[in-house]
């Protein structure tokens, strides 16, 4: 198959998923409201801890609020990937998707990126307005923006691999939700959701830097507020490495899962 046909196929999946996601505007509204409360609370908290003009390990209150704006915009842009894949596996719908000229994993990836594009953009737009009202606009450079954008995409790829790997566990275990729960706690802590991991104790900082979770939230948000090229290169390399490793894991898991259908029935 030619690359252009492949691109047309999966980009159409992404566009359709984005259109479909836009139909859930009430849910997105509720998330935005929750987002505003989180930003308001943390802005007040940091104001108390470090004052309006002080810093915390080199981060100003404004930078911390904008850091949180991006990490929360990413985290709250939950897609239906987990439910979709889990449902496909449990109900056998996966069998019907396999009967189409598609690669199931690429299909899910395109679906995920389509939904992510809509939800992350809208979250960031809404959160950005709240953050602007609370602490004003940060001194963002164009290179910082470009770095953040690239890292958001790479982080989304890492996140897709992790979520899909969890969802595909449905082939082997009755319930994959507990694994998702563990994953979300890792994002909270080792992903640096509320605070940049530079502020962590040494051991946890080093541990977090080696794991994939920081590529999803910390990497893009740190680049957004700092625009540091050295830091960007580190984050990008780490994200690419994890993408490769997790893609391998995902493909292996999927092949094992499909084999499972053949052994245990559709």
Partner 1 sequence: MLAIRTKNLGKEFWRQKKASGLLGSVRSLYQQDKERVVAVRSLDLEIAAGESVAFIGPNGAGKSTTIKMLTGILHPSYGEAQVLGLTPWQERQRLAFHIGTVFGQKSQLWYHLPPADSFFLLGRIYELDQRTFEQRQAELVERFELKEFFHVPVRKLSLGQRMRAELAAALLHAPQVLFLDEPTIGLDVVARQSMRNLIKEINSLGITVFLTSHDTGDIENLCRRVIMIDNGNLVIDQSINSLKRDHLAAKIIRVRLEHPVEGLPPIDGAQVLKHKGAGLKISLDTKKLSVDELYMRLRQLAPIADITIGDPPLEDIIANIYRHNQGGGEGHELEQEVAQI
Q: Which of 88, 36, 72, 104 is nearest to 187 (CA)?
A: 72
**Per CB under 8 A, does 78 bind partner 1?**
no
DSSP output for 129-163:
HHHHHHH------HHHHHHHHHHHHHHHHHHHHHH
Q: Which of 95, 139, 145, 245 binds partner 1 (CB under 8 A)?
A: 95
CB of 96 to partner 1, least distance (A): 6
**Per CB under 8 A, does 99 bind partner 1?**
yes
Q: Which residue is associated with the tokens 């801890």?
A: 49
Q: Which is nearer to partner 1, 90 or 205 (CB)?
A: 90
Strand partners, 59: 56
CB of 30 to partner 1, least distance (A): 17
**Per CB under 8 A, does 16 bind partner 1?**
yes
**Per CB under 8 A, does 20 bind partner 1?**
yes
**Per CB under 8 A, does 48 bind partner 1?**
no
CA distance 79 to 72: 14
Q: What is the DSSP letter of 171?
A: G
Q: Which of 96, 172, 181, 252 binds partner 1 (CB under 8 A)?
A: 96
Q: Which is nearer to partner 1, 49 or 95 (CB)?
A: 95
Q: Which is nearer to partner 1, 101 or 230 (CB)?
A: 101
Per-residue H/E/C for 95-134: HHHHCCCCCHHHHHHHHHHHHHHHHHHHHHHHHHHHHHHH
Q: Which of 171, 159, 154 is nearest to 112 (CA)?
A: 159
**Per CB under 8 A, does 102 bind partner 1?**
yes
Q: How long is the chain?
A: 266
Binding region for partner 1 (CB under 8 A) out of 72-80, 87-95, 211-219, 246-254:
87-95
Which positions lie near partner 1, rule CB under 8 A?
A: 1, 5, 8-9, 11-13, 16, 19-20, 23-24, 91, 93, 95-96, 98-102, 261-266
């Amino acid at each position: 198959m030619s690359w252009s046909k492949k691109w047309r196929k999966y980009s159409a999946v992404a566009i359709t998923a984005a259109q479909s996601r836009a139909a859930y505007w009430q849910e997105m509204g509720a998330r935005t409201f929750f987002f505003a409360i989180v930003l308001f609370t943390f802005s007040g908290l940091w104001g108390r801890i470090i004052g309006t003009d002080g810093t915390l390990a080199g981060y100003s209150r404004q930078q911390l609020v904008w850091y949180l704006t991006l990490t929360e915009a990413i985290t709250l842009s939950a897609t239906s990937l987990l439910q979709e894949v889990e449902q496909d596996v449990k109900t056998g719908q996966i069998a019907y998707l396999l009967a189409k000229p598609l690669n199931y994993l690429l299909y899910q990836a395109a679906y995920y990126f389509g939904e992510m594009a809509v939800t992350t953009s809208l979250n960031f737009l809404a959160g950005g307005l709240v953050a602007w009202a609370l602490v004003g606009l940060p001194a963002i450079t164009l290179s910082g923006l470009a770095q953040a954008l690239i890292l958001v995409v790479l982080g989304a790829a890492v996140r897709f691999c992790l979520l899909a790997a969890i969802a595909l566990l449905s082939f082997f275990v009755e319930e994959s939700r507990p694994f998702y729960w563990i994953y979300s706690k890792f994002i909270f802590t080792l992903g640096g959701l509320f605070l940049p991991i530079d502020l962590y104790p040494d051991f946890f900082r080093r541990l977090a830097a080696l794991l994939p979770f920081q590529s999803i939230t910390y990497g893009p948000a740190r680049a957004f507020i700092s625009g540091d090229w050295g830091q960007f290169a580190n984050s990008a390399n780490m994200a690419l490495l994890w993408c490769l490793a997790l893609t391998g894991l995902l493909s292996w898991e999927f092949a094992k899962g499909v084999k499972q259908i053949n052994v245990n029935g559709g």
